[in-house]
Structure 1
Amino acid sequence: MTETENIVVGISIGDLNGIGGEIVLKTFEDARILDFCTPVIFASFKVMTFYKTHFKSEINFNSIKDLDQIAAGKVNVFNCWNDPVKIEFGKEDLNIGAFAIKSLEAATKALKEGFVNVLVTAPINKHNIQSEAFKFPGHTDYLAQELEGESLMFMIHNGFRVGLLTDHVPVKDVASHITPKRIEQKINTVYESLKKDFKIQKPKIAVLGINPHTGDNGVIGHEDDVVLRPTLQKIKESGKLVYGPYAADSFFGSNNYKNFDAIIASYHDQGLIPFKTLSFGQGVNYTAGLNKVRTSPDHGTAYEIAGKGVADENSFKEAVYSAMQIFKNRTDYEELTANPLKKASRSERR
């Protein structure tokens, strides 16, 4: 793929009763984005036409039944189903969950087969997608099975990046999930992603403690002293710039996070609450560590405002832009790795 070619962005439509359709339409209503990417929405032409009418959009869709028919410069809709769909904004519906999975599976298949370059997923409802055939907590776990690599939830916004040692794990089980093996694996995934996906040659990574005040020398738990600190020391001795554990309560408020290329939180809310507070609805959820690029907005289905035309598309739009940039960065990295002479010639020109 050359720099002049559009990146083909596959889009899974998510929960049809949520705000996914609206934010997808709003993102691509500015036709200038089609100069940089070719979107392929995995849904049905009838569903997208319903959204277009409901939200009074002027987008013209290119309806396709075969991925060989993807047209650059157009908003393509790949028909994943012909079934009639009853859309009731704001309602949780098992049938709607099934359509969300059809879209996700078709988009993932297209990604694996190379018809699309990256995948951007609109929000799903983690409850109504469950079935005998689909038993995953969400997108990340499903994609970890379907794509090669070690997946990691990586929240990104400009130079602010937060990864997680544990993601969708009940708080009561967090400490038992944090093992030396997991710590090493997650830090290595973040480290490699910073190099390949964000072009940072010597990444600096901060790790937040498991317990309040990182355990206060065992007064509030022993996990930081027994598991986390020794493992971080071992990783640091290997040459990686890894620091911590830091007490999470003051880390963000003191602006210490600005001194690092990435922060790794011990559990979901420890990392995502400050991230979403500081990213002001512009954040992106990136699944790092896989052999393909997948991003999503940092919010859910927002049933309470679905269908009202007031959803903010900025996080989804940023997810599209981030996916394209990461794809370009990764492509450059792979080319330079395969051809060291090219890297040397670039250095000489500087």
Structure 2
Amino acid sequence: MKRAENIVVGISIGDLNGIGAEIILKTFEDARILEFCTPVIFASVKTMGFFKKHFESQINFNGINDLNQLVHGKVNVLNCWNDVVNISFGKNDIKIGAFAVKSLERATKALKNEQIDVLVTAPINKHNIQSEAFNFPGHTDYLAEQLDGESLMFMVTDSLRVGLLTDHVPVKDVVEHISSDLIEKKIDIVYKSLQKDFNIRKPKIAVLGINPHTGDNGVIGNEDDVVMRPTLKKIKESGKLIFGPYAADSFFGSNNYKNFDAIIASYHDQGLIPFKTLSFGQGVNFTAGLNRVRTSPDHGTAYEIAGKGVADESSFKEAVFTAIQIFKNRADNENLMANPLKKTHRKI
């Protein structure tokens, strides 16, 4: 396994008019984090120099034009463009979106080629990144196309993990997206991720119902009875510890979520509203199911506070540490699979 300080963390810069650069600077101003990884920001030294001056950061960047020039113990910046970028904090700008895409594409290519070990993405604006060449709702969908595997938005903290059956889908279309095949696929992704990425050998997973009160025996929709319950019964019969469907309105308020290693919500807000209420600022968005590790903070561009120096870097910092830990867990899991008879010797 790599030494901790040699784990290379690639960072896509996100929307330059948002809070991304600020939370990146604040995260790495604490030099102790360089004991855990070697960061490389995909942007340009000129652009990061603007942010350094604006936020009065003390970081001395190591500018590079090739990833072979990485220096451990430094905050590296890979020059992805030579343009002078006009920053207008808080403004939705399609030109700025193009730089966010350029950073993401370069970072993803490096991740695919194993030039970086993990990817942490700063927040983007889903509107201004759209173009004929880049037509994805967000990071997750783009990475799912670029990297092998089936992706799943997995919001995680040390004590709470929430996955989604459907993510960026309009509420009016949620039901038509949920099928027995989708439920089985998403549960399998969560189950394997808990084992491989979080070292939980026998995961216990709860699934939230589709309709209010899981349909009240068909009074408020029959999808839970016709689709959800039979599918969960089938999965449980395979030996997995899968429970539900649970009524979503009382599941978190009753603290029932504490009895499970992960919860799978049927749609975006059903899972993310309670997750962010319980853990905002500490949560991490992890893209499970891919052959590479990608994390991001649990918030967006925050245009309303961009440039003011008041953004909280906690979630971004957690995203960095979570990516490192998952990378290590995967390495440990691969070693275990390669040496299944290897035992840990314990003193008695």
Structure-1-length-normalised TM-score: 0.98
1:12 equivalent to 2:22? Answer no
Q: What percentage of aligned pairs have identical amino acids?
A: 78
- 2:344 corresponds in structure 1 to 346
Give distance in 1, aligned partners of 2:2 and 2:140.
29
CA deviations over 1:285-342 (Å, ceiling 9, x no partner): 0000000000000000000000000000000000000000000001100111011132
CA deviations over 1:39-66 (Å, ceiling 9, x no partner): 0000010010000000000000000001
- Report the CA distance shift for 1:92/1:328 in structure 2 as closer, same or farther (over 3 A): same
Within 5 Å, give how 1:38-187 maps onto structure 2.
38-187=38-187
Corresponding residue SS for 1:150: strand
- 1:231 corresponds in structure 2 to 231
Letter in 2 for 1:150: E
Alpha-carbon shift at residue 217 of structure 1 (Å):
0.2
CA deviations over 1:175-227 (Å, ceiling 9, x no partner): 11000000000000000000000000100000000000000000000000000
- 2:306 corresponds in structure 1 to 306
- Report the CA distance shift for 1:85/1:5 in structure 2 as closer, same or farther (over 3 A): closer
- 1:286 corresponds in structure 2 to 286
Preserved contact between residue 5 and residue 35 of structure 2 (Cα < 8 Å): no
Give distance in 2, aligned partners of 1:16 and 1:79.
15
Preserved contact between residue 280 and residue 298 of structure 2 (Cα < 8 Å): no
- 1:277 corresponds in structure 2 to 277
Structure-2-length-normalised TM-score: 0.99
Corresponding residue SS for 1:78: strand
Letter in 2 for 1:257: Y
Corresponding residue SS for 2:341: helix
Give distance in 2, aligned partners of 1:39 and 1:200.
28
Alpha-carbon shift at residue 4 of structure 1 (Å):
4.9
Give distance in 2, aligned partners of 1:220 and 1:287.
32
Give distance in 2, aligned partners of 1:281 and 1:177.
30
Preserved contact between residue 5 and residue 73 of structure 2 (Cα < 8 Å): no
Give distance in 2, aligned partners of 1:84 and 1:6.
32
Give distance in 1, aligned partners of 2:72 and 2:240.
42
- Report the CA distance shift for 1:5/1:84 in structure 2 as closer, same or farther (over 3 A): closer
- 2:256 corresponds in structure 1 to 256
Corresponding residue SS for 1:340: coil
Preserved contact between residue 61 and residue 75 of structure 2 (Cα < 8 Å): yes
Alpha-carbon shift at residue 346 of structure 1 (Å):
1.1
**Count of residue pairs the alignment pairs up:** 348
Letter in 2 for 1:271: G
Give distance in 2, aligned partners of 1:112 and 1:71.
21
Give distance in 2, aligned partners of 1:22 and 1:348.
45
Letter in 2 for 1:299: H
1:330 equivalent to 2:330? Answer yes
Letter in 1 for 2:158: N
Give RMSD over aligned pairs. 1.0
Give distance in 2, aligned partners of 1:6 and 1:233.
45
Give distance in 1, aligned partners of 2:45 and 2:341.
48
Preserved contact between residue 4 and residue 35 of structure 2 (Cα < 8 Å): no
Letter in 1 for 2:180: P
Corresponding residue SS for 1:289: strand
- 1:209 corresponds in structure 2 to 209
**Gap regions ≥5 residues in structure 1:** none
Alpha-carbon shift at residue 38 of structure 1 (Å):
0.3
Corresponding residue SS for 2:95: helix
Alpha-carbon shift at residue 83 of structure 1 (Å):
1.2
- Report the CA distance shift for 1:117/1:250 in structure 2 as closer, same or farther (over 3 A): same
1:197 equivalent to 2:197? Answer yes
